[in-house]
Structure 1
Amino acid sequence: VSASDLDAGTNGEIVYSIFQNSEENLQTFKINPETGQIRLKKPLDYEEKKSYEIDVQATDGGGLSTHCKVE
């Protein structure tokens, strides 16, 4: 996931997080707060669950945030 901010300095720094997700998603996925890279915490089982939807939040150094869904 990638976000950008036109502010300079610390107000332009973005922190990524997994936002308002199910316990299952929180146990399955993790996000690098600096890069936004989403990774697995455990293997996926396609026969058990065919798709996932993760809500990712990006917050800038000034406290403003936005979020998006990743499928």
Structure 2
Amino acid sequence: MPRFAQREYRAHVREDAPPGTAVCRLQAADPDLGANGEVRYALDPRHGDPEGYFAVDERTGVLRLQRPLDREARALHHLVVQARDGGTPPEAASALVSVVVLDVNDNAPAIRLLFLTETGRPQLSEGARPGPTGP
């Protein structure tokens, strides 16, 4: 029976990471010989990733980003990855993967200026002090 090196994996990925970015590598081993000891990885269909943000390489256990993330829409993803051996019937083990989406300042700043002068153009008084003047 396969066994994961960890029961839970925690990873962080920037929200601007491009598809194909490696998020983490899961590791499971099976002490059996031959095909019974070969481990294959897959997202658990019941607790996987219905939105299709992630995919796991069946041979290496590398979890990769499949599509762009948006931290404002979802800051944390929980997945369950299975490791199956090559036995008949195959035996499986599961590990929880929590992926934290790191915020990237991807929103352009908004600057609103209001000039309260007679001409409608900016003016600065020579007696003005540095710093904010109001909200």
TM-score, normalised by the number of residues in structure 1? 0.91
Of 48, 51, 55, which aligns to 2:76?
51
List, as ranges, runs of 4+ consecutive aligned residues in structure 1 with deviation greater than 4 Å: none
CA distance in 2, matches of 1:42, 1:7: 36
**Shift, 1:44, TM fit:** 1.1
**Shift, 1:22, TM fit:** 4.4
1:16 aligns with 2:41: yes
CA distance in 1, matches of 2:97, 2:56: 12
1:66 aligns with 2:86: no
**What's 1:31 paired with?**
56
% identical equivalent positions: 36
Larger radius of gyration: 2
**Which has the bigger relative contact order, CA under 8 A and spacing at least 6?**
1
TM-score, normalised by the number of residues in structure 2? 0.49
**What's 1:42 paired with?**
67
Structure 1: gaps spanning 5 or more residues: none
**What's 2:4 paired with?**
none
CA RMSD of aligned residues (A): 0.9
Q: Residue 11 of structure 1 aligns to a residue in which SS?
A: helix
Structure 2: gaps spanning 5 or more residues: 1-25, 99-135
Q: How many residues align?
A: 69
